[in-house]
A and B are shown apart, each in its own frame.
With several copies, the nearest count.
Chain A
Amino acid sequence: MILESQRFQPFTAEPIAVISESGEWIAPFELDLGPDQLRRMYQDMLVGRAVDERLGRLQRQGKVSFVAPSGGHEGAQVGIAHALRAGHDWLFPYYRDVALPLAMGLPLVEFVAQAMGSAADPSRARQMPYHVSSKALNLFSAASPIASHIPPAAGCAISMKLRGTDQVTVCTFGDGATSEGDWHAGVNFAGAQGAPIVFACQNNRYAISVGFEKQTGADSIYTKAHAYGMPGYFVDGMDVLASYYVMCEAVQRARDGFGPALVELLVYRYGGHSSADDDSRYRPRAEVEAWRKRDPIARLRRFLTRKGLWDDEAQKEADARIAAEFDEAVAQAQAAGDVPVEAMFEDVFADVPERLARQRAELLG
């Protein structure tokens, strides 16, 4: 049940794009975003890219135990972020979401503090880097087990529906996640309940080393929407504006009571799977290079330049501002120091039970 009024059709053979590689507007409708928001989207992508570079350095310095590069995913992530009502809607993210939470308003210091495991991390240094969580932003705590957040996301959306809030849940994940049983269980429950949720797959066609053709017999993710009676949208995730417009439509559809949708955003992972990975074992360099030419940041920059909304001057300023923000965030995170050892025994339950208190004493005397 797609509305006539809607701009995009589900199940298109080709990924939806609104700006061309060379930066022209190619959509059948008018651009309706102001210069400020366009520039903000661009700079939100720059911040995401900068995280790879800055945290990568901290990782090599041993100040961060692990990084998950998101270079190549920024277009999809920033498009998703701008389609949400931050602080009102809920996001159930996964570890590769970097530009996404930051563009939603997560303070850079919180991201950095979480990665460094400092006391400035609102989740008290309880998880590996790249597992953000923000109650203030309705940003559900990311968990490592792939797809384990899908059923909770479905439940959140079902709650939104039965309580009649006009909120929407957005849930992100990679292509590999779609093979997990929990992914199916959660998407199917949301579909059966017609809950207001958008499942957004960042398909970089690899699950660590496992290529897409070994992941599933289907030749795409969006076709899997058929299994749940929901529309499946196929989007060029290297096109931030296409990602934004399609997500807006799917989110609006859900908000208006037309139920869930599955959106596949085609992206690429420029870096290794993580700082522990050596992707040269399984990925031809030529493939990586080919995708680098399709960089989502360069693409939007061409578009902005054509429209006279961006130039080298602006770029220099932005780079400088972002670098300064990072220096500041790292400084704050370090200044906050470490979480105390006894914090290990807290938040298992609302209160520390006797048995745990005795174990704490066993350790701390």
Chain B
Amino acid sequence: MVQSIARTLDEEMARDERVVVVGEDVGKRGGVFLATEKLFDKYGPDRVIDSPLSEAAIIGAAVGMAAHGLRPVAEIQFSDYVYPGFDQLVSQVAKLRYRSGGQFTAPIVVRMPAGGGVKGGHHHSQSPEAHFVHTAGLKVVFPSTPSDARGLLKSAIRDDDPVVFMEPKRLYRAVKEELPDDLDALVPIGKAAVRRVGDDVVLVSYGGSMAETARAAEALAEQGVSPHVIDLRSLAPWDEETVLEAVARVGRVVLVSEAPRTASVMSEVAATITEELLDQLLAPPLRVSGFDTPYPYAQDREYLPGPARIMRAVQRVLDY
């Protein structure tokens, strides 16, 4: 996935000279995960800007660049480090269009590797998407495949509104995938992808947890259970239509995300499902999630919702 992101940034910078990259170590270093590799050599320090060590400076400066006419792609080295720039995101990025009555806008992309499974402890593993989704004025995407990453990053860069672009770091080098040659192969923001069609239970997930969800689906299929798997891809706006249609048909749903459970994205999905589909539910929507603790170090694996926990939840909704 990370090569796909570097390639996409290259393609978009070549397409539109207003696109610039700004962040810590994005220059010669090519980013600590190499998501901006080779861009510095190709586009130079004016378009690939190594920032000082300040997320407020990165996100805030991107707002000013965008107001002045650029299309900045800001990199936050780890999503855990977005917090020093959180005021810029909430008070400037998310509200600029609104407070100026549409006079000024902030068409920026804020990229950040997120999620656990890399033995990074709580400051290299968090999944802060709920904070962004709760903030009106931000679009939020969280792809799980290289081609979705490319298609959504293109859509995000070309979008006239700010987009928080989250990347599942433990999948950075997981999957190889042929990418289409089409330079305009966009994936629309707000549309989910059905990864597998089935009739017994709907599994909804996104980002890093898609890997475990897919494995769980495999195992269920082998046991003769037919899972319907949805990858949200976009979290704000999220594809209510696709999810509700599937749950209405199947009547059972398990929501999988590694983020802490309380007041999470999946809390919203669960609440929306019951608001809309109470009578079609054959079992309560169950959430399999990260726990309401800081992300641990020693229990890096146990914290994540793995296939076993997912399947236990599926069993519960099937037995309900």
Contacts and interface: CB of A to CB of B under 8 A. Distances in A.
A and B touch in the complex (CB under 8 A): yes
Interface stretch (A10-18, A23-31, A123-131, A314-322): A123-131
Interface size class of B (residues with CB under 8 A): 35 or more
Contact of A148 (B25, B57, B69, B92): B92
A244 to B, nearest CB: 25
A189 interface: yes
B232 interface: no
Contacts of B84: 145, 147-148, 180-182
B141 to A, nearest CB: 14
Given A182-B84, A276-B32, A144 B123 contact: yes
A20 interface: no
A182 B87 contact: yes
Nearest to B54: A185
Nearest to A348: B293
Contacts of B261: 359
B175 interface: no
B88 interface: yes
A334 interface: no
Interface stretch (B114-122, B146-154, B199-207, B208-216): B114-122
B142 interface: no
Interface in B123-142: 123-124, 136-137, 139
B292 interface: yes
B31 to A, nearest CB: 9
B60 A151 contact: yes
Given A148-B92, A159-B64, A133 B292 contact: no
Interface string B235-277: 0010010000000000000000000011000000000000000
A86 interface: no
A84 interface: no
Interface stretch (A204-212, A245-253, A258-266): A204-212
B299 A182 contact: no
A65 B51 CA distance: 28
A326 B226 CA distance: 55
Interface string A3-14: 000000000000
Given A128-B120, A186-B60, A344 B30 contact: no
The 3 lowest CB-CB distance pairs between A and B, nearest first, are A151-B60, A155-B64, A155-B61
